[in-house]
């Protein structure tokens, strides 16, 4: 698999095998490519992750692409056992800015042990 294909898998499944991780240059994920992939998924489906929605139970962030091109990043947290609450929603002028915020909030250092290269 190419680097881009590996990062596409990481953006969709948040996991790579040991062999796949070793195939990445420096065994790191380039954030610039991940942000492109997150934006592409959100552009196709209106959401990132594509199968999450605000009314569902999750802990973390959800990116929503609006028809006017703005993006919302919804933040939820588990407030008690299996009970989740919306902490807030932030509005971004671009999908790129929203994707960066999503990634910084969800995976600031690594995704399932794959270190993120914020300089690439």
Q: What is the DSSP string of the chain?
A: --HHHHHHHHHHHS---HHHHHHSGGGEEEHHHHHHHHHHHHHHHSEESTT--TTS--SEEEEEE-TTS-EEEEEEEEEETTEEEEEEEEEESSHHHHHHHHHHHH-SSEETTEEEETT-
pTM: 0.92
Nearest to 74 by CA among 83, 82, 57: 57
pLDDT digit string, tens, across residues 61-101: 999 999 999 999 999 999 999 899 999 999 999 999 999 99
pLDDT of residue 6: 98
pLDDT of residue 82: 86
pLDDT of residue 70: 96
């Amino acid at each position: 698999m190419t680097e881009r294909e590996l990062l596409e898998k990481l953006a969709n499944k948040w996991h790579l095998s040991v062999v796949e991780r070793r195939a990445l240059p420096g065994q790191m994920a380039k954030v610039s490519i991940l942000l492109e992939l997150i934006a592409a998924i959100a552009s196709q489906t209106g959401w990132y992750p594509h199968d999450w929605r605000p009314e569902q139970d999750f802990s973390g962030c959800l990116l929503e692409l609006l028809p006017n091109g703005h993006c919302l990043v919804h933040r939820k947290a588990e407030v008690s056992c299996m009970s989740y609450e919306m902490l807030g929603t932030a509005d971004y002028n671009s999908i790129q800015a929203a994707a960066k915020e999503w990634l910084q909030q969800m995976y600031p250092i690594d995704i399932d042990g794959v270190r993120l290269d914020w300089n690439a």
